[in-house]
């Protein structure tokens, strides 16, 4: 027999867990959550320092790969997505960065009415519990615990911040507060030494409610339509097909890859794409799966002259001791993601807000933990944060287990190629400052022989990797390529919303987990038809001399 609920949420990820909690607060509302993945009860998920294991495994990760990327000499790029309770918040790097205020004003300019910074800030605050306490910009009573890790205990973190200051940039005490721009601490979603995913923060506290049903290992095959209204879903579990009806709405929170894939399987998307895959067209919506964008980065690595880096902790005995300390006391190096300092700068003073982000790591290795330097080293991960290149997600068939075609078109635009050139040259200039004289050894990657534009371009094509921030495939707006309106309702279909990072019109200038959670918090009020929180009038800081420093006196222009 078909089951009936008020709301069906597809995906228990960063957004879906938030929705599950907020919608089920009303005891009269029946909520079903369908998640293809399973339990997050793994030491490798819960221990922050072990982040590379779930991110690169197969049990908790969809492990998508792109088509051969033309701009990367045909390389296929790994695109991890969470396949577990908590979704990508259970396998990501736990970096908590909101983005610049102007990122959200840009959303509004692109057609996402009401999603400017003043309207978003109260929901960032409602979501979080910042260890430093609440103020005009930060929240201290929300479910999502955020902190600064081990407070830059390793001296290399502070050297990186000081080197940014030496290079002429500002410093910021809180990049999620008044002033994002500059060099300073980076924050993370960790609580009491554990990864604080949305499963831990939102879903688990709500799972004892009798009106919330969570079904794992459930593959949603399609959204069921009656005419132009979503009335339920068909899903598969344990080899059996099931149908669940939604008396109010179906809410898709399957992420920037899974959401367009599901919509297309349901007959909602570009008609030609659907027909080629053998899907009957229920609703021709050309923007579904288009506008795919992502942050990408390169690793700039240096040898370290002092034995103080994480490269000295790679042996089995050191790892055992670090793990044992976590199991027994939830403290030490196991409780951090190791990205404890970073920076946001404008690559050119004529820009209105930063377009380059730095993650600093007191180790030299790959993001997946492989190929660490055998000697002590440190590295800067950096890339242009406002990419212009766009790609797509397109289904291949009606089979939900067959991965869709994913193409980011990395480096398709000259602006993005020039962005990487600037990232490398500016990073070299920053690391060359006096604050690093004590620590700086030889540049290991890309190496001193990589200098010209052509040499840099070739190195980037060979080594560039995703930062794992895809978004935009079901973007908000009112034009012909928009998929959802400003209330996240799918254009032309009643009782169907998309609530995840696929609706972002453009990439925020930061990691995407924090804005995804904010989006779901605000969307939950829309779904419940509750009054939205009043806009904030908190001031937005900017670096002194914007438009008249950082190597340029050109008039301000938009990124």
Q: Which helix (H) or strand (E) holds 204?
A: helix 204-206
pLDDT number for residue 348: 84
261 occurs within a structural domain: yes
Residues 427-440 have a mean pLDDT of 96
38: which residues sit within 8 A by CB, 6+ positions away? 84, 85, 216, 217
- Residues 39-67 have pLDDT tens digits of 999 999 999 999 999 999 999 999 999 99
pLDDT number for residue 373: 72
CATH number for the domain including 268?
A: 3.50.50.60
Residues 314-319 have a mean pLDDT of 88
Tell me: do 224 and 370 sit in the same domain. no
Domain that holds residue 315: 149-185+296-384+411-463
Rounded Cα distance, 307 and 300, in Å: 19
Tell me: do 59 and 25 sit in the same domain. yes
Q: How confident is the model at residue 127 (pLDDT cuts 50, 70, 90)?
A: very high
Tell me: do 331 and 478 sit in the same domain. no
pLDDT number for residue 542: 80
- 295 labelled catalytic: no
Chain centre distance of CA 298: 17
Does position 148 have pLDDT exceeding 50, yes or no? yes
pLDDT number for residue 371: 63
In a 3-state reduction of DSSP, which class is residue 171?
A: strand
Does position 551 have pLDDT exceeding 50, yes or no? no
Does position 33 have pLDDT exceeding 60, yes or no? yes
- Residues 376-419 have pLDDT tens digits of 999 999 999 999 999 999 999 999 999 999 999 999 999 999 99
Does position 236 have pLDDT exceeding 70, yes or no? yes
Structural domains in the chain (count): 2
- Residues 339-378 have pLDDT tens digits of 999 999 998 877 889 999 999 999 998 655 566 677 999 9
Tell me: do 316 and 453 sit in the same domain. yes
The binding site consists of 84, 92-95
Q: List the beta bridge partners of residue 465.
A: 297
Percent of the chain clearing pLDDT 70 (strictly above): 96
Does position 515 have pLDDT exceeding 90, yes or no? yes
Does position 555 have pLDDT exceeding 80, yes or no? no
Residue finishing a domain among 422, 437, 463: 463
Residues 488-500 have a mean pLDDT of 98
A 10 A CB-CB count for 214 gives: 21
pLDDT number for residue 426: 95
Rounded Cα distance, 229 and 193, in Å: 45
Tell me: do 231 and 372 sit in the same domain. no
Tell me: do 163 and 209 sit in the same domain. no
543 occurs within a structural domain: no
Residue matched to tokens 């910042």 = 130
Rounded Cα distance, 457 and 447, in Å: 14
Tell me: do 108 and 233 sit in the same domain. yes
Q: How confident is the model at residue 550 (pLDDT cuts 50, 70, 90)?
A: low
The binding site for FAD consists of 84, 92-95
A 10 A CB-CB count for 241 gives: 9
Tell me: do 177 and 51 sit in the same domain. no
Does position 159 have pLDDT exceeding 80, yes or no? yes
Tell me: do 448 and 509 sit in the same domain. no
- Residues 266-294 have pLDDT tens digits of 999 999 999 999 999 999 999 999 999 99
Tell me: do 284 and 313 sit in the same domain. no
Tell me: do 483 and 439 sit in the same domain. no
Contact 95, 186 (CB under 8 A): yes
- Residues 528-545 have pLDDT tens digits of 999 999 999 999 988 766
Options 261, 338, 469, 491, the catalytic residue: 469
pLDDT number for residue 553: 34
Tell me: do 18 and 106 sit in the same domain. yes
Residue finishing a domain among 440, 463, 486: 463
Rounded Cα distance, 196 and 90, in Å: 8
545 occurs within a structural domain: no
Q: What share of the chain is helix, strand, coil (3-state, %, to 5)?
A: 30, 25, 45
């Amino acid at each position: 027999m078909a089951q009936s609920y008020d709301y069906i949420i597809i995906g228990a990820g960063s957004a879906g867990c938030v929705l599950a909690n907020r919608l089920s607060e009303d005891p009269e509302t029946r909520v079903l959550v369908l998640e293809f993945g399973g339990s997050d009860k793994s030491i490798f998920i819960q221990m922050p320092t072990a982040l590379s294991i779930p991110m690169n495994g197969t049990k908790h990760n969809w492990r998508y790969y792109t088509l051969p990327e033309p701009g990367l000499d045909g390389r296929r790029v790994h695109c991890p997505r969470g396949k577990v309770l908590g979704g990508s918040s259970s396998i990501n790097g736990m970096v908590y960065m909101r983005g610049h205020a102007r990122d959200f004003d840009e959303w509004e300019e692109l057609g996402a009415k009401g999603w400017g910074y003043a309207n978003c800030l109260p929901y960032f605050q409602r979501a979080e519990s910042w260890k430093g306490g609440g103020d005009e910009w930060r929240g201290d009573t929300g479910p999502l615990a955020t902190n600064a890790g081990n407070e830059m205990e390793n001296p290399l973190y502070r050297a990186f911040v000081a080197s940014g200051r030496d290079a002429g940039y500002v410093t910021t005490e809180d990049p999620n507060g008044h002033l994002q721009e500059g060099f300073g601490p980076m924050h993370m979603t960790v609580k009491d030494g554990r990864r604080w995913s949305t499963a831990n923060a939102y879903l688990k506290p709500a799972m004892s409610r009798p009106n919330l049903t969570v079904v794992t290992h459930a593959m949603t095959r399609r959204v069921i339509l009656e005419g132009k209204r979503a009335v339920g879903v068909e899903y598969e579990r344990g080899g059996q097909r099931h149908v669940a009806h939604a008396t109010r709405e179906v809410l898709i929170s399957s992420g920037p890859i899974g959401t367009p894939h599901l919509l297309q399987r349901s007959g909602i998307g570009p008609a030609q794409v659907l027909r080629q895959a053998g899907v009957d067209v229920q609703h021709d919506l050309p923007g579904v799966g288009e506008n795919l964008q992502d942050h990408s980065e390169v690793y700039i690595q240096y040898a370290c002259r002092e034995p103080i880096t994480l490269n000295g902790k790679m042996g089995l005995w050191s790892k055992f001791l670090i793990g044992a300390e976590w199991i027994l006391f939830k403290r030490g190096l196991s409780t951090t993601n190791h990205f404890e300092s970073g920076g946001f700068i404008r690559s050119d003073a004529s820009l209105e807000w930063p377009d380059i982000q730095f993650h600093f790591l007191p180790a030299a290795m790959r993001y997946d933990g492989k190929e660490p330097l055998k000697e002590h080293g440190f590295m800067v991960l950096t890339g242009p944060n406002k990419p212009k290149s766009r790609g797509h997600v397109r289904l291949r068939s009606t089979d939900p287990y067959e991965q869709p075609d994913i193409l980011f078109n990395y480096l398709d635009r000259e602006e993005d190629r020039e962005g990487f050139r600037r990232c490398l040259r500016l990073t070299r200039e920053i690391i060359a400052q006096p604050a690093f004289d004590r620590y700086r050894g030889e540049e290991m990657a890309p190496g001193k022989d990589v200098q010209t534009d052509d040499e840099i371009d070739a190195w980037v094509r060979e080594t560039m990797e995703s930062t794992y921030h895809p978004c935009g495939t079901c973007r908000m707006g009112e034009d012909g390529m928009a998929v959802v309106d400003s209330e996240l309702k799918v254009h032309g279909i009643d009782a169907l919303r998309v609530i995840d990072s696929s609706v972002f019109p453009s990439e925020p200038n930061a990691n995407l987990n924090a804005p995804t959670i904010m989006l779901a918090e605000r969307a939950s009020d829309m779904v419940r038809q509750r009054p939205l929180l009043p806009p904030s009038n908190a001031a937005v800081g900017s670096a002194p001399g914007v438009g008249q420093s950082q190597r340029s006196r050109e008039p301000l222009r938009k990124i």
